[in-house]
Structure formats: C-alpha cells, structure tokens
A and B are shown apart, each in its own frame.
Chain A
C-alpha cells in the first residue's frame, strides 16, 4: 500500500528526516514510537504532502504510484487520510458542513450514524475545533475520517487528551476505521499510528512497530515488545543500541 524509499525531508532549510524506509502492506497496521521531537509527526505530514515539508531525496509510493509531488487533495482522493494532532480552528465553518464536503462523491450517506456513534450530535453546528476540548478534537477528527473513508489512515497520538470514559469509544472507532473486524486476508485498510503510551494497542492489533530517533527509524519489530522495552529502559537504550551495533 505505502512504500517509502530513502526519504530525506527538510523543514525551513534544515534536514529533519534522514533516509527513511518504510513499507506498509494492504491490511497492515504499523505503530511509530519515539521521543518528542524525533520527527514522527513530520513523517506523517510529509506523507500527506503538507507544504512546509520538502522532500529533498527519495520517494513516497502509494499503491505503486509515485505521489511524492502530488498536492494534498490528490493524495486524499487517492485514499490517504490523516488525523491531526492540533487541527486549526476555522471561524464560521461548521463541523456539519465539513463532513458534507469531506464525504467522497457517491459515498453511502451514513454520516448521521457515525456522528451518533461518536457522541458528536451537539457539535455539527459548531465552528470546527472552536472551543473543542482535547478529547472532542480527537472524536471530531475520527468522525471526519469515518466520513472520508480512507484506505490508508495516519493517526497522530489518537489517545492523547482522551479521558478514560472515551478511550474505549476511540479505540473501537479506530479499529472500525482499520477494518479490524475483517479477517486479515480480506482486510483492505492500512494504518500508521503514532503512539506515546501504547494504550491504543489494547484496541487494535498492530502488526509492526518502528522507533524513530532524531529523524531516523532506528528499529523495527513487534510493537508490544518494543513498547515493553521502551517502558523498561527508555529511548536512550535505542540510541545506544544502534551506536553499539554500528561501532
């Protein structure tokens, strides 16, 4: 589904991602861990094509097509979707209106059902993200993705700011987005999820984990195992581990 090859990315003239290689097959969910500022969000924003992030080397292939230079909306229409960690507030633009325009043409009209399932009925007439709490922003973002129906979903810390009462709801909704109820053989949806706490792993079975340090992916492996090691030893272990290997 997604193939990233030798990717180097600059922000404001400074290289922040170095030689990233990542391959996500159809039906797979990958998690991305790493300390604050290591470049995880930058990778997601680059995959989606935001203007601030300049690819200086390498390619992003989506379903075999090189999308490295495509504008954001064409990537979205090709099937990519992203949950923003800190989405902007847009004065006057109602959430309901945004759902209307985000629904792909000809898609089944089950928006209302999604809205109710995420307890967002009271938010449709509100300006998007205006005065939303952290948890409400997450639910609004998931709701937009449910309406948009992307095949490849990128989630940036979906569990942060969500209270315990809603974490199950979020987890279940994300699992539905990723077709976790569908057998692996038939599953078509893929995902790349940034997580700090790993709570989300209780709701979705992630297939692979990656650790990003200082703009590079340092290791790949079983997501639960990586999480356990990080919890026990911290990210410093990842840094020294690679230094020992290369020494």
Chain B
C-alpha cells in the first residue's frame, strides 16, 4: 500500500527540520515503512518489508474485517472523553500496522503525526505483532510552529503475540500552546516483550497520558522509559502502568525527568496480580530551576509471591558532583551540562542499536539548550 510517495518530499525545509527532531527520516534510508498524517489527512503510507503491513485504519477495516476484534479492546472506547471523541468519529484516522508471523525487519517503521492548522487532530492506531514477529516503531509527533494552538488525541492499541516483540518509541516536538492526550495500552501474550519509550524535551502546554501494559501470558515482559524535560509553562502528567497477570512476568518503569520551570507529575503503577512476578519503578528527577516534579510511584501486590520495588530521587544536582568535574578542569557550566547529559543517557535494554542512536540523537538535539 502506498499513498502519495512524494508527500513527504513536498514538505517545506522548516517542516522537515521540525519533524526530523522527532526521528522522521524523510529519505526513508533506515526505515522499513512509513506512515505520515498531516492534520486529518494521510499523506504517506508505505511498507518496504516483507510480512509488514502499514495501512490507514479506514482501509484496513475494509481489507481485514477481523481488525474489528482489535478495536477498543486494549483501550476501552468509553475510557474518558478523549477516547470517546476518537471513537465517535465517522471517518477514523490513524494507521494499522501488522507484523506477520516471523517478520523481523531490522529497521524501524516510522509513524509521523503532524499538526498544522486543525484545532484537533485525532488518530486511532492498531499495532499488531503476530506470534514470533518483531516490530520497531518510532513515532514522531510535532506541530508546525511553536505559536500554533491545538490538540492531539491519539489512541494506540498494541497487541504483542506469543514470543513477539514490539518496541515503540514516541518523540514529541509540540508547541507551547498544544494539548496532547495520548491514550495507549498493550496486551502482551506468553513470552512477548513490549518496550515503550517516550521522549519529550520541547515546550508543550499539556501532555497527559498513562499507558498500560497488561502482561497476560506467562514470561511476558514490559519496559517503559520516559525521558522528559518540562520548560516553563509545560505541564506533563505522565505515568505508566504494568499489570502482571501471567506467571513469571516482569516489568520495569524508568523515568528521567528534568524541570527548568514546568511541572512534571511522574506516575507509575505496577500491579502484581500473580505469583512469581516482579516489578520495579525508578524515577529520578532534577529540579534545575523553580518548577515541580511530583513522583507518585504505586506498588500494588495482590498476592504473596510478587516482588515489587521502587526507587525515586528528586532534587538538584549534587554540589559534590559538580565540584568533582570542576577539579578535572571543567568550568561550572560545562560540569553541569555534562552531568545532565549523563543523567539523560538511559540505555534501553532490547532496543536495536540504530534506534538507540536515534533516541540519543533526539536527546542530543534537545540538549543543546542545557
């Protein structure tokens, strides 16, 4: 399936620059497929890998009627007013991505959601990795200018089959007047792996999300990592939740949060519902200037035999760390930025090197402000 392959090439240089900060590769050199939606219009949709389908959701429902079974299954349609809004749309927008059995493309697939001049952009995405399949998704979300007002409601449902793996990396580059309400959830079957990464280092008015992974099959694994910076005026209410339902399932929720004046609420919730399960929440926050970091880790053990833990540390950069580097000849400013870069350097287990490099590059680009 291909929709206007030149769509991305028609972007202005400025658009390209903003989107590239979210990981978009216009040239598609290291991409296995691509989906690009501008406001409500699907500009580009293609897959170059065998066993990998990338189809706009409306088409997918015609082509694969069984997709119905996956709609509003992981995320309930009536969860809140945002999901209800997306569910009520007569013409659904978004993408269905299916990695068929055994499909293991090396390069990631990119999905790009670009808000230009609509008051609300809504999307509903379904991402399915069939048994044994592997899929790496990098989603970039951006608005055209920092001055623009608007909202983005995005529902994404992930289905990870037996022995399958999905990594989903979302990089946000919205503007200071945009409200963003992603609603996503994953259902992970036996031996499945779901890795979710979130990077937001640019101003945004409000982001509110609380993705949930339900580990229904034995030995399923979930890992959430968030690397976020709240600039003055930004309000980031972020969480992640793992429900350990299968035996020997495990989850790790990691957050690195920096405020330079904005507010970050860092929630985490692990529910140990079965024996022989493990969960860990780790939140580290740096308050660089007057802002708020509010860490709310929740551990909910429902049976004996689940091991849940959390560690959180929020504060300023320790003076002894800065002085240690100054004693090696770094001035205070360089010492501070070196420490911040290290703080944000989260190596995510199970991520292809290429994707890790992409995340590193996105962070590096945003770090120039420190």
**Which residue numbers of A lie inside 8 Å of B, CB to CB?**
48, 50-51, 71-73, 76-77, 81-82, 84, 87-88, 90-94, 97-98, 101-102, 104, 127, 144, 148
Contacts and interface: CB of A to CB of B under 8 A. Distances in A.
Contacts of B331: 71, 73
B6 to A, nearest CB: 41
Given A88-B320, A93-B338, A101-B338, A76 B343 contact: no
Nearest to B333: A73
Contacts, number: 70
Interface residues of B, number: 25
15 contacts: A51-B319, A73-B330, A73-B332, A76-B328, A77-B329, A87-B324, A88-B324, A91-B284, A92-B341, A93-B338, A93-B339, A93-B342, A97-B342, A102-B328, A127-B342
Given A73-B329, A73-B330, A50 B342 contact: no
B106 interface: no
B294 to A, nearest CB: 21
B328 A148 contact: yes
Interface centre among B325, B329, B332, B343 (most CB of A within 10 A): B329
Contact of B327 (A76, A94, A97): A76
Contacts of B325: 90, 98, 101
B71 interface: no
B326 A76 contact: yes
B323 A98 contact: no
Contacts of A51: 319, 323
Contacts of A90: 321, 324-325, 339, 342
Nearest to A80: B327
**Interface SS of chain B:** helix
Contacts of A98: 325, 328, 338
A127 B339 CA distance: 11
A73 B346 CA distance: 28
B329 A88 contact: no
A72 B338 contact: no
B344 interface: yes
Nearest to A99: B328
A234 to B, nearest CB: 33
A147 to B, nearest CB: 9
B318 interface: yes
Contacts of B118: none
B342 A84 contact: no
B364 interface: no
Contact of A84 (B324, B330, B332, B338): B324
